[in-house]
Amino acid sequence: MKVEQILSQFQATGVETCFHDRHIVAQIYAGLDGRNWRLRDYESRGGYQALRKILGLDGGPGMTPDQVVAEVKASGLRGRGGAGFPTGLKWSFMPKNYNGPKYLVCNSDEGEPGTFKDRWCLERDPHRFLEGLLIAAWAVGIEGVWIYLRDEYHGCRAILERELARLQADPPCALPVIELRRGAGAYICGEESAMIESIEGKRGIVRAKPPLPALQGLFGQPTVINNVITLASVPIIMAKGAAFYKDFGMGRSTGTLPFQITGNIKQGGLVERAFGSVSYTHLTLPTTPYV
């Protein structure tokens, strides 16, 4: 039995392994040291090259918005906000020939207890997220972007304000209007329709569906909503291709996932690995007995 073999090998050696004999290592958080988060650092890691490739600014033929959506669909990327909805499919629901503004809302509310994957990304690699956001906005024809940021994330807010200003001073392409919105401090405001209500200045209460936000979302306009890590996964897909991304993970769960490890365990932290990996070293031993 392959599964049993792999698990027993892991238990014997403690060495990370996987069920699919392919890549397992970090992609989104790779090469970060907590200090190399500025625009020039990201560019030196190849940042904004995916966006330039799409727009044909690298001397290549460029891509159409439909091709970008198709590539994200082919990658199998699913939303990292919790529901796991296929991202490319969600983008394709947005009307194409719409006579009015379309909006993108980035869900950075991160209210689930014990979660910190979005905060890590925003603090340590904000431009990876911003590049993904710009690619999504371009592919879907977005006019206005709202980043709905958990209000307790003061550090993220300071970084995002500064890095957005840097981006606006030297933009890689025409930028949509981007507004950074402080969250309302209620867990329910992380739910997409309650978040829309909150951005509109109302109390955060879940809206009845239909209509889907893609048809009638923020201020009644077609709106796509994505999590920070969903967007931060997009530059890798566009730079290296859907096939490369799919080679991490297994079945319908493609790519890598940041595992947020907290609680009464040997070593907490954030571990990004491909789906199908076995890397539970951190989890095995509680430091103190459970009470």
Ligand X SMILES: Cc1cc2nc3c(=O)[nH]c(=O)nc-3n(C[C@H](O)[C@H](O)[C@H](O)COP(=O)(O)O)c2cc1C
197 binds ligand X (CB under 6 A): no
The region of 1-9, 60-68, 223-231, 244-252 touching ligand X under the rule CB under 6 A is 223-231
190 binds ligand X (CB under 6 A): yes
230 binds ligand X (CB under 6 A): yes
Chain centroid, CA 30 distance in Å:
14
Q: List residues bridging with 273 in a β-sheet.
A: 257
Cβ-contact 126, 231 below 8 angstroms: no
Cβ-contact 90, 174 below 8 angstroms: no
254 binds ligand X (CB under 6 A): no
Closest to ligand X by CB, 90 vs 127, is 90
Lay out the site mask for ligand X across 96-115 (x = CB under 6 A, - = otherwise): -----------x-xxxx---
Tokens for 206, please give them: 């879940």
71 binds ligand X (CB under 6 A): no
Instruction: Return the residue of 83, 89, 177, 285 that touches ligand X, per CB under 6 A.
Output: 83
Lay out the site mask for ligand X across 113-152 (x = CB under 6 A, - = otherwise): ----------------------------------------
Where is 277: in which H helix or E strand?
strand 277-278
As to burial, measured by CB atoms within 10 angstroms (0-12 exposed, 13-18 middle, 19+ buried), residue 287 is exposed
What is the distance between the alpha carbons of residues 53 and 247, in angstroms, rounded to a whole number? 22
Q: Which residues are near ligand X by CB under 6 A?
A: 79-83, 85, 90, 107, 109-112, 188, 190-192, 225-227, 230
